[in-house]
């Protein structure tokens, strides 16, 4: 199996909702652009760590080159991976643990359940200070907290088993340092988040996970809605979230004016914030399923896939664009590259030059297809243009 039934990466979901595991089986195998980018960035980080323990590699060895999944590595991916690797090297250079790194190695967590295992990005153990370091590299934008992070707790448990002869929560005097490196999340926590905790203090968390794991395999398993629905692959099939969102949009009451007191106002705001999040999560789950069906020939009344487009990009080398501008007496240089097409057109017009003369020099690159509500406007425009 390529993925555990009780994967640490989804521990925050099955910890709260046992039913989501069975609903998600067989779903989620289709990568998104974001997940493919994340996989490519992780590959860069893994290769950089290996290079520091052997042959050296630089930015030019990655940027512009395809990762194993076919995604072209960007400068942003390289810079994010560099920050992740730099954090690991900072710890290792201080402790002399560079040769003791465990990168992308599978770990098991039978204390939670036999079906719980996974692959942390990196971990190491300093026997001199009895300190376990566990890293997780996140390429996404959504903030991930290290404190009481269920995925990291699973990984820490698996790594502790390796260094304690399968007695991870014994009185060994080990301190666990969990570090999440998230370069593209711009919240107040910064790109590196840390939770330092005694290994023995993880006992309570492991007990909670083991109880939750047993519920997953209970024949009478239940689904429970909440914030954990956000990334649940089974949300599109979930009766609990469907009923919860239906109740939100379908409820009606007596037309009697009410003025809530302070406590009631605060409570209702909290309830509505949770409801808004639940609706968003259900909508996102349905959108993913709708896109999948439409891409595979399905027909959804009122919905279609529409080609996305980015900003205009030059079709010719920079030197040719600049030379073309000089022929018209207009400097299109925005050191060290030409102005963007939109700004170039504006500057040409300002210099009384018809901007259409450079229309063949640029075009809008296509982006991914996007789901869009179809109110018939597209068909009407096409019909009018054909007349």
Q: Give the pLDDT confidence of 355-372 residue by residue, as tens digits.
A: 888 888 888 877 667 767
> In this structure, what are the phi and psi dihedrals at residue 325, rounded to the nearest 5 degrees?
-65, -40
Q: Are residues 84 and 184 in the same domain?
A: yes
Mean per-residue pLDDT for 119-135? 94
Q: Which sign, positive or negative, has the C-alpha torsion 347, 349, 350, 352?
A: positive
* More confidently predicted of 377 and 34: 34
Is residue 284 a part of any domain in this protein?
Answer: no
Q: What percent of the chain has pLDDT over 70?
A: 83
pLDDT for residue 251: 53
Residues 178 and 314 in one domain: no
Based on the domain organization, do 148 and 13 belong to the same domain?
yes
Instruction: List, for residues 33-67, the tens digit of each pLDDT value.
Output: 888 999 999 999 998 887 765 444 565 678 888 99
**Does 206 share its domain with 340?**
no
Overall number of domains in the chain: 2
Look at residue 165 and tell me if it is in a domain: yes
Query: CA–CA separation, 314 vs 88, rounded Å?
Result: 40
Among 216, 240, 266, identify where a domain stops. Answer: 216
d(CA 349, CA 364): 20
Residues 62 and 166 in one domain: yes
The confidence band for 259, taking pLDDT boundaries of 50, 70 and 90, is: low
- Domain membership flag for residue 255: no
> What is the extent of the structural domain holding 358?
305-386
Res 383: pLDDT: 43
In 3D space, the residue among 81, 65, 61 whose CA is nearest the CA of residue 73 turns out to be 65
Do 209 and 346 lie in a common domain?
no
pTM of the model: 0.64
Question: What residues contact 353, with CB distance under 8 A and at least 6 apart?
Answer: 328, 329, 330
Residue 286: inside a domain: no
Q: What is the mean pLDDT of residues 326-350?
A: 83
For residue 175, give the 3-state DSSP assignment.
strand
In a domain, 259, yes or no: no
Is 270 within the bounds of a domain? no
Cα distance between residue 158 and residue 116, in whole Å? 10
State yes or no: pLDDT of 111 exceeds 50.
yes
Are residue 212 and residue 319 in the same domain, yes or no? Answer: no
| Confidence grade of residue 311 (pLDDT, cut at 50, 70, 90) | confident
Peptide bond just before 361 cis, omega within 30 deg: no
Nearest to 363 by CA among 293, 302, 319, 316: 316
How far is residue 222 CA from its own chain's centroid?
Answer: 27
CA dist., res. 323 & res. 330, Å (int): 10
Are both 206 and 76 inside the same structural domain? yes
Identify the domain boundary among 216, 244, 272. 216
> What's the mean pLDDT in 333-345?
82
Point out the domain boundary residue: 216, 235, 253. Answer: 216
Q: Which of the four pLDDT bands, split at 50, 70 and 90, describes residue 324? A: confident
């Amino acid at each position: 199996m390529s993925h555990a039934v009780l994967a640490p990466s989804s521990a925050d979901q099955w910890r709260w909702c046992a039913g989501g595991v069975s609903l998600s089986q067989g779903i989620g195998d289709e990568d998104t652009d974001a997940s493919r980018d994340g996989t490519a960035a992780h590959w860069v980080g893994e290769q950089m760590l290996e290079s520091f323990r052997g042959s050296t590699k630089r930015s030019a060895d990655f940027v512009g080159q395809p990762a194993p999944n076919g995604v072209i590595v960007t400068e942003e991916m390289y810079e994010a991976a560099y920050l992740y690797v730099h954090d690991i090297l900072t710890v290792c250079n201080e402790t002399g643990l560079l040769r003791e790194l465990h990168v992308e190695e599978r770990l098991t967590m039978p204390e939670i359940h036999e079906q719980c295992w996974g692959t942390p990005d990196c971990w190491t153990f300093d026997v001199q200070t009895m300190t376990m370091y566990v890293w997780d590299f996140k390429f996404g934008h959504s903030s991930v907290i290290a404190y009481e992070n269920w995925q990291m707790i699973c990984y820490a448990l698996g790594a502790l088993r390796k260094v304690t002869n399968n007695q991870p929560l014994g009185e060994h005097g080990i301190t666990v340092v969990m570090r999440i490196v998230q370069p593209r999340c711009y919240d107040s926590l910064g790109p590196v988040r840390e939770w330092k905790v005694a290994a023995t203090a993880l006992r309570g968390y492991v007990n909670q996970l083991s109880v939750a794991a047993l519920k997953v395999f209970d024949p009478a398993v239940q689904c429970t809605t909440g914030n954990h629905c956000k990334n649940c692959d089974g949300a599109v099939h979930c009766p609990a979230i469907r009923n919860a969102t239906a109740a939100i949009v379908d409820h009606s009451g007596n037309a009697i004016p009410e003025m809530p007191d302070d406590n009631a106002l605060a409570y209702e705001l909290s309830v509505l914030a949770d409801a808004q999040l639940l609706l968003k999560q259900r909508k996102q789950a349905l959108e993913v399923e709708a896109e999948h069906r439409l891409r595979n020939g399905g027909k959804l009344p009122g919905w279609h896939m529409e080609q996305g487009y980015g900003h205009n990009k030059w079709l010719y080398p920079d030197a040719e664009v600049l030379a073309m501008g000089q022929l018209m007496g207009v400097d299109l240089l925005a050191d060290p590259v030409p102005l963007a097409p939109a700004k170039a057109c504006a500057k040409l017009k300002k210099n009384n030059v018809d901007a259409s003369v450079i229309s063949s020099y640029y075009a809008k690159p296509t982006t991914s297809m996007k789901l869009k509500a179809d109110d018939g406007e597209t068909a009407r425009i096409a019909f009018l243009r054909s007349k």
